[in-house]
Structure 1
């Protein structure tokens, strides 16, 4: 599932619908679900994975200990048979609703309470060099006009001292000719997030708010192409 809005730390959503009959072997059923979940997590390590359904007498607490179960209200009489597991913490709060039609199971209202990663962690900053053709030419000119004999004459045969001195000098030239900028590194950004992808994400949000489905399709297509390319 790829909803219009999803916290950036999740690539997409995978939902598993499960039904374990009362006569089924609970351990065997849980092992089948566990193996399926393991395969999906290997294929999609950054996806939000949800497991929902009627589990009757079965529980995934032993086979999938890293998953959180969110249904805490009773769903049939005084029993909790319908469960929802997720591979992230603090995702939902549950409350009971009346049964649908003549069903003997209550509905469950799951209210999202998940706080995106970008709001839970501070945003660090780091300094980056902005290399360009002009800065490269300036660096070349700086090195071409350097009297390298001064370094070799002052350090003689001490190769380690000479290497350190020349390295410091090159870094000194770089600091003066290459401009720097300070950027914020958001914790929910993947390493492949680029300014072009960020611009398309903003276009996607704008097209969703305006309800322009044709524009949304075009932006989605461009976004998928850039993500695969990166």
Structure 2
């Protein structure tokens, strides 16, 4: 969504969502809203991917940008109105909110949503352990104990998910408002070295380094 004149911002290009064609094609994407104001830019898309657990009907992704100079109360009210409408109209959809919220506390707008902080650690060792665990089960047992391919798929996928939870360790990632996605490990190391050099310089009086 290109930034519109109504936003009052002249720099930048707005918000966008990139879609992996192996997950969902363009024919199964519906635009729910495209709104742009001085306080909030919102692009909401509804997806019908090739595979979803049967308890979900669709995935709604809301890409949000709240500029630093925005009226935070107004921005949260506009976002609350949009998300509440989506939740009421699409009760069985997965609702995802992503973007740049700056100093805004999103919990004030949608207290019933929570942030995913855990990620799976797919190391060579954990993958080998999972592969060994997948080689052991009698997979025919799932077929014999189910009546059709849908029940078989649900049982097998559920069992695989449990193996993944058991064999793949998870770690908690802390996210801060000033931690941008392009600041990788190399940049953080350089910043830490710079800070350490500065601290030494303020003590020694030699700021050359």
Question: Is TM-score (shorter-chain normalized) higher than 0.5?
Answer: no
Q: What is the TM-score of this pair, normalised by structure 1? A: 0.39
Task: Say which structure, 1 or 2, has more relative contact order (CA 8 Å, 6+ apart).
Answer: 1
Q: What is the TM-score of this pair, normalised by structure 2? A: 0.43
Structure number with greater Rg is 1
